[in-house]
Amino acid sequence: MDISHLLTDSSRNMEASLVRELLHYSQQPEMLSLAGGLPDENLMPNYPDLSMMLDSQQYGASEGETELRELVVSLARDIGIHTTKNNVLITSGSQQGLDIASRLILDGNSTILTEQPTYLAACQVFNLQGANVQGVESDKHGMSIPALRDAIERSKPKAVYLIPNFQNPAGHCYGLKRRQEIAALLDEKNILLIEDDPYRDLCYENVDLTPITSLMRSAPWLYLGSFSKILWPGLRVGYVVSCDAFSPYLVKVKQAIDLHSNRLSQHLITSFVRSDAYPAHLKNLQQEYKVKRDAMAKELKERLGDVVEFTIPSGGMFFWVKLKNGLSAIKVMESALEKNVLVLPSVPFYPTRHPESDAYLRLSFARVSISEMSRAISILSIVIRDQRE
Amino acid sequence: MDISHLLTDSSRNMEASLVRELLHYSQQPEMLSLAGGLPDENLMPNYPDLSMMLDSQQYGASEGETELRELVVSLARDIGIHTTKNNVLITSGSQQGLDIASRLILDGNSTILTEQPTYLAACQVFNLQGANVQGVESDKHGMSIPALRDAIERSKPKAVYLIPNFQNPAGHCYGLKRRQEIAALLDEKNILLIEDDPYRDLCYENVDLTPITSLMRSAPWLYLGSFSKILWPGLRVGYVVSCDAFSPYLVKVKQAIDLHSNRLSQHLITSFVRSDAYPAHLKNLQQEYKVKRDAMAKELKERLGDVVEFTIPSGGMFFWVKLKNGLSAIKVMESALEKNVLVLPSVPFYPTRHPESDAYLRLSFARVSISEMSRAISILSIVIRDQRE
């Protein structure tokens, strides 16, 4: 049966995802994976007592549960975003926030600017709308201001999509000055900012985390938050905080696409975040991940220090490791796979052709034990050195 | 702040929903509402024991939880659809199934055929893709075969969207012959069928419920199922069973839009549907709703029998009540609202202009007590008779 005549152009062009295929390998029992973007389930707390949450059974409001929206208002206030619950939409993960934003503004005639590299599942949803996704030169301090100005003037984008804190995959964290410059430029050019901030609480150093949206004065903005990296990703709870003008559109799309996000998850999140256990839980997460981060930094330095380059990330889950001497990340990934070690090559993370798109490995430290990490990096060392000969 | 320049044409044209506005009224404490499409929460069972469902906390598979997919395979088999779990996608309610299907096949150059009237939130999602939604003449036995043939030949649709069992809003149930004729016509013309079947278990008579997809031999098809009317709609769990050709596309879209549906809900549903309590629960639902249906039929006959026409539905939640003598349903709704009775007029349910689009009221019996029903219909009687003068 051939259905290609039924599909839209965007659907027909949906790419087989290299990452999806690779992540299938991660389920093999003998596979040592540094590839996934999963947080550590051993650090996830038990659910609160569920027996009282019967009010979650009936259909609910498209905007989300009032208590959770009010909680998000206070979380936003704590980080410098002053809003009301009318501008808070609860989504099924921040991935859905990206989808809703894309539905509203992107089509085959649109361009959206992203960092280079960027979160690949964001590109998937932008592409599904048929948009032109254009990477803008970025370094370890974030997107380059001259490059952004140039890209805005040339491609008249609908929006700029940024992950300023501990980006997946590159791990960068923008400094305050860069954040201010970006905000000023977007205000000057009246460009919509979509700011995606799922990793902010996985913070291991004293770094600036000011939301760029909180620095903007006039241009439109959407701020996406998530509970997935700090609590229970399987429950699918995230949120969009929006400038006033967007709010009614966001909720109309939400209603059309899945009516509302599941209520039990919202109640569970609200209950835990409001409890006394929450601050201690965050602190524990940060401590545990910091230990793993430091262990990976040590392993990389000792075993690979002469053949790769990397910056130690101040938060998040990933090391973004550059292979020296023009080695191919894809070839390294393939050889490592033969030795039952799974790593992600950088190619899928570059929306636009880029000279370094095959030069990096993304290594996650969130879910591996320190001994697994050590074993995996030893094997990587063998593989990389073999390739250099 | 003006953001209209950012929106796509479809987004800009999203209509204010009369139904959304009306349903806000339903939350006023003194409002007697027959307007909503909610099932009765008093008939929803308690959750199974949740404390063991810790495996639901981590990210999961885009296709859905294996156990639930296997359960859906057996539920499908029971109703004559023979499939494998590779063709089952778990969605966040069947509303999301509609959205995913629409994303795949509809754009500004597409037409989709629907019943007349039809489920309005389906039209919302078709419209969001910019598609042309065309209603096809339908009667109480379902969509008219000559009208469907004619519509297919004229508008070359991408798909036909049907709700054969206890349709929202009109309450019809297709006979077996009509189902067979539809299947044969769609096979002849090779037209995709999207069959939406959320009410099948709310069945109060011995009527044929054969899925039209199970009668098809060659044309592509998607069958949408839901647990929302029989269990816990707040949890957002539905599914799409697809012909082979569609399956890989469905899961790619699902992954892009929200990664996967929440796992705890899936485990809860699986646990309850597999338990001994489930058949007894369904039986109880059917008995309780049948009593309410009969009570509403009696009230309508006794108080309004001379001024309206209606068929007693053999299942589902709704009476579709036609106002005689050219009365306007919108005017009746407005007058009833002044007396704190909320009913839905038919206008939003007609995708295309139709001479009877303002002639019907949709009345739900699912959530009102029999005394509330009696009071509401008494007031409707006053309102309707006033308007006839």
Other beta carbons within 10 Å of B82: 9
Work out the average pLDDT over A75-96.
Answer: 98
| A93 interaction partners in chain B (CB closer than 8 Å) | 258-259
CA distance B384 to chain A (A): 31
Asked if B234 lies within 8 A of A262 by C-beta distance, the reply is yes
Query: What's the confidence (pLDDT) of residue A383?
Result: 97
Strands B132-135 and B318-323: unpaired
Cα angle at A284 between A283 and A285, to 5 degrees?
A: 90
Work out the average pLDDT over A44-68.
Answer: 88
* Interchain contact B172–A (C-beta under 8 A): no
CA distance A376 to chain B (A): 23
* Interchain contact B103–A (C-beta under 8 A): yes
Asked if B318 contacts B36 with a C-beta cutoff of 8 angstroms, the reply is no
pLDDT confidence band for A48 (50 / 70 / 90): confident
Q: Which candidate, B95, B131, B90, B130, places its Cα nearest to that of B113? A: B131
List the 63-92 stretch of A: residues with Cβ below 8 A of B: 91-92
Work out the average pLDDT over A95-115.
Answer: 97
* Interchain contact B159–A (C-beta under 8 A): yes
Contacts of A15 (CB under 8 A, 6+ apart): A127
Q: Which candidate, A260, A239, A294, A14, places its Cα nearest to that of B250? A: A14
Q: Which candidate, A31, A22, A25, places its Cα nearest to that of A339? A: A31
Whole-number Cα distances in Å, A335 to A33, A385, B328, B339: 14, 11, 73, 75
Asked if B202 contacts B69 with a C-beta cutoff of 8 angstroms, the reply is no
Q: What tokens were used for B93? A: 């309610």
Amino acid at site B140: K
| pLDDT at A54 > cutoff 70 | no
d(CA B239, CA B226): 6
Q: What is the DSSP letter of A165?
A: B
Other beta carbons within 10 Å of B234: 28
Work out the average pLDDT over A165-186.
Answer: 97
Query: What's the confidence (pLDDT) of residue A53?
Result: 73
Other beta carbons within 10 Å of A185: 18
* Interchain contact B52–A (C-beta under 8 A): no
pLDDT in tens, A260-286: 999 999 999 999 999 999 999 999 999
Q: What is the DSSP letter of A320?
A: E
d(CA A325, CA A302): 19
Q: How far is CA B320 from the centre of its chain?
A: 14
Residue of B nearest to A269 (CA): B57
| A87 interaction partners in chain B (CB closer than 8 Å) | none
Asked if A349 contacts A117 with a C-beta cutoff of 8 angstroms, the reply is yes
Asked if A124 lies within 8 A of B256 by C-beta distance, the reply is yes
A12: left (phi over 0), alpha (psi -120 to 50) or beta: alpha
* Interchain contact A228–B (C-beta under 8 A): yes
Half-sphere exposure of A162 (CA within 13 A, CB side): 32
| B7 interaction partners in chain A (CB closer than 8 Å) | 104-105, 249
d(CA A45, CA A136): 39
| pLDDT at A50 > cutoff 90 | no
Half-sphere exposure of B63 (CA within 13 A, CB side): 19
Partners of residue A241 on adjacent β-strands: A88, A223
Work out the average pLDDT over A27-40.
Answer: 89
Q: Which candidate, A311, A292, A168, places its Cα nearest to that of A228? A: A168
* Interchain contact A42–B (C-beta under 8 A): no
* Interchain contact B225–A (C-beta under 8 A): no
What was the ipTM of the complex prediction?
Answer: 0.94
Of A91, A227, A257, which to mutate for an interface test with B (greatest number of B Cβ within 10 Å)?
A: A257
Phi, psi of B290 (to 5 degrees): -65, -40
| A259 interaction partners in chain B (CB closer than 8 Å) | 93, 95, 121, 236
* Interchain contact A46–B (C-beta under 8 A): yes
* Interchain contact A246–B (C-beta under 8 A): yes
* Interchain contact A257–B (C-beta under 8 A): yes
Other beta carbons within 10 Å of A135: 22
CA distance A68 to chain B (A): 15
pLDDT in tens, A219-242: 999 999 999 999 999 999 999 999
* Interchain contact B191–A (C-beta under 8 A): no
Q: What is the DSSP letter of B45?
A: P
Q: Which residue has the tokens 């009369």?
A: B18
- Is the bond into B157 cis (omega within 30 degrees of 0)? no
| B65 interaction partners in chain A (CB closer than 8 Å) | none
Q: What is the DSSP letter of B315?
A: B
d(CA B314, CA B309): 16
Element (H, E) at A279: helix A277-304
Other beta carbons within 10 Å of B157: 24
Half-sphere exposure of A100 (CA within 13 A, CB side): 37
* Interchain contact A247–B (C-beta under 8 A): no
Query: What's the confidence (pLDDT) of residue B22?
Result: 82
Query: What's the confidence (pLDDT) of residue A52?
Result: 67
* Interchain contact A169–B (C-beta under 8 A): no
Long-range contacts made by residues A212-216, C-beta under 8 angstroms, separation at least 24? A212/A162, A212/A164, A212/A174, A212/A179, A212/A182, A212/A183, A212/A186, A213/A81, A213/A241, A214/A79, A214/A80, A214/A81, A214/A82, A215/A179, A215/A180, A215/A183, A215/A184, A216/A183, A216/A186, A216/A187
Residue of A nearest to B55 (CA): A234
Amino acid at site B17: S
Amino acid at site A306: D
- Parts of chain B with a pLDDT under 50: none
* Interchain contact B263–A (C-beta under 8 A): yes
Q: How far is CA A294 from the centre of its chain?
A: 21
Cα angle at B23 between B95 and B46, to 5 degrees?
A: 60
CA distance A232 to chain B (A): 5
d(CA B378, CA B383): 9
A315 vs A46, higher pLDDT: A315
CA distance B188 to chain A (A): 14
Asked if A159 contacts A139 with a C-beta cutoff of 8 angstroms, the reply is no
CA distance B383 to chain A (A): 30
User: What value does the mean pLDDT of chain A take?
Assistant: 95
Contacts of B190 (CB under 8 A, 6+ apart): B218, B219, B220
